[in-house]
Amino acid sequence: MNHKEIIQKGDASGNGLIVKFRLPSGLEIVSLPTKNFYGGHWDLGPTWNYVVLADRPFLIDSGRYGQGRHLVDMMRLAGIHPVDLDFVLISHSHEDHDGGLAELVELTDLKIKAHTVYDLLIRQYPDVAPPGYKQRFPAKCWHCFMPESFFKDNCLKYHGVLQALEIQRLGDGSEKIGNNISTRHLPGHSPDSLAVMLGNEAMVVGDVVLPDITPWPTRLEQYDEVVEILRPLYPEASALFGLKRYLQSLKELLQIAEKHPDVLVLPAHRLYYQDRWNAIHLKERVNELIEHHIQRCTAILKIVATETKSADEIARLHFKESLLKGPGKLMAANEIISHCELMLACGDLQEVGTHSYVGTGSENFEKSIQHIPKKENL
Ligand SMILES: [Zn+2]
Ligand SMILES: [Zn+2]
């Protein structure tokens, strides 16, 4: 059992809960959970940012937009001086992880490390951007399905500050970022997802594995929007996007779990939630997530066994009504499309017009998921 020292108590969701974890080797990690504005049925809880107190300490993630200064204040409370940090690493390009980045960097002058795809997709490309109000969006937000009114209220400033950021790129392999510390590219939830391996003792996984909630997968078709930007380095969509790529990342984690069953997993949401700790047993949790996706495919296939249905119709039949309110409806359809893409590739579905599907009678998807190859040399 790892040693936990509470530095500051938080609320029931874990907001503000500053904890110092001490690993058997003596390495210490400090949690700095910052508030998110989401709520209701899609509430994620705070974003758990972490400082790793290695020989050269560094921060992982920066909370959402407006949290930069708060993060610096929390660090000070924990006795950490931002000037002593070597860099900040961004686990992936979602706003709840890099929203506070520009403010943080302005206050601290920290260098930024992130995956190459992050550096490419936070830029504007007016020549290839979708027409209309998305023209000035960073490429990572082109696929966003929130209405224009949401963007005007919440994203305008955030999008503006991303352009000026200078990123030290990390690649797809195991990249050393400290003494016995390396990153691993685990795309699928986001094309630029990174996990940080702290020897064999602990890993900071971002949103790749979460307790309580299932990280949503990207759609393979998101690649088509950014193909001009990514093609020189990534000629295949399947290297970065889609449910299959996400499942492959999970299989990589399974391999780690088999070698190091007691690895401490530090997720970016809900480590503490509803007044309790949610410890993650890596092997168990990854298997649960894989099983969840198999079951969802089974359910979808049943819905479209004899009748063609659109992704929206499948979502309405599959999800609880409470999850379909407001943007929930679009998130649900996104999730359905991810699963249908995988089953299309297995020959279990046929697409009849855009995002409408019907079963072919086969059920190859489960075998296909079980057989997703594991990478060598982990
Ligand atoms: Zn995320
Ligand atoms: Zn997140």
Place of tokens 């937000």: 141
pLDDT-based confidence at residue 154 (cuts at 50, 70, 90)? confident
pTM over 0.85: yes
312 pLDDT band (50/70/90 cuts)? very high
Instruction: Give the residue, 258 or 43, on which the prediction is more confident.
Output: 258
Residue-level pLDDT at 378: 43
Average of pLDDT values for 122-142? 92
Query: Residue 96: nearest ligand to its CA?
Result: 2
Alpha carbon of 314 to ligand 2 centroid (Å): 26
Mean pLDDT for the chain?
94
Of the listed ligands, the closest to the CA of 193 is 1
Confidence at residue 287, expressed as pLDDT on a 0 to 100 scale: 97
Task: Please give the distance, rounded to the nearest whole angstrom, from the Cα atom of residue 372 to the centre of ligand 2.
Answer: 25
Q: Which ligand is nearest to the CA of 94?
A: 1
pLDDT of residue 31: 98
Q: Is the pLDDT of residue 2 over 80?
A: no
Tell how far the Cα of 7 is from the centroid of ligand 2, in angstroms. Answer: 23
Condensed to tens digits (0 to 9), the pLDDT of residues 273-299 reads 999 999 999 999 999 999 999 999 999
pLDDT score of 327 more than 70: yes
Is the pLDDT confidence value at 374 over 80? no
The pLDDT of residue 24 is: 94
Nearest bound ligand to the CA of residue 61: 2
Judged by its nearest atom, the ligand closest to the C-alpha of residue 38 is: 2
Separation of 36 CA from ligand 2 center, angstroms? 9
CA of 95 to the centre of ligand 1 (A): 8
Task: Give the pLDDT confidence score for residue 40 in this predicted structure.
Answer: 66
Distance from Cα 49 to the centre of ligand 1, integer Å: 13
pLDDT computed for residue 258 by the predictor: 95
Q: What percent of the chain has pLDDT over 90?
A: 85
pLDDT of residue 376: 45
191 C-alpha to ligand 1 centroid (Å): 10
Q: Which residues contact 361 (CB under 8 A, 6 or more apart)?
A: none
- The CA-CA-CA angle for residues 292, 294, 295, to 5°, reads 65
User: Distance from the CA of 216 to the center of ligand 1, in angstroms?
Assistant: 8
- Give the integer Cα–Cα distance in Å for 207 and 203: 12
Q: State yes or no: pLDDT of 75 exceeds 80.
A: yes
Q: How far is the CA of 215 from the centre of ligand 2 (A)?
A: 8
Whole-number Å distance, alpha carbon 98 to ligand 2 midpoint, is: 10
Strand, coil or helix: what is 149?
helix
Res 326: pLDDT: 78
Least confident of 17-31, 78-92, 317-331: 317-331
Distance CA 153, CA 143 (A): 18
**Four-CA torsion 82, 83, 89, 93, nearest 10 degrees:** 60
Q: Tell me: pLDDT of 26 over 90.
A: yes
* 305 alpha carbon – ligand 1 mean position (Å): 32
Confidence (pLDDT) at 147: 82
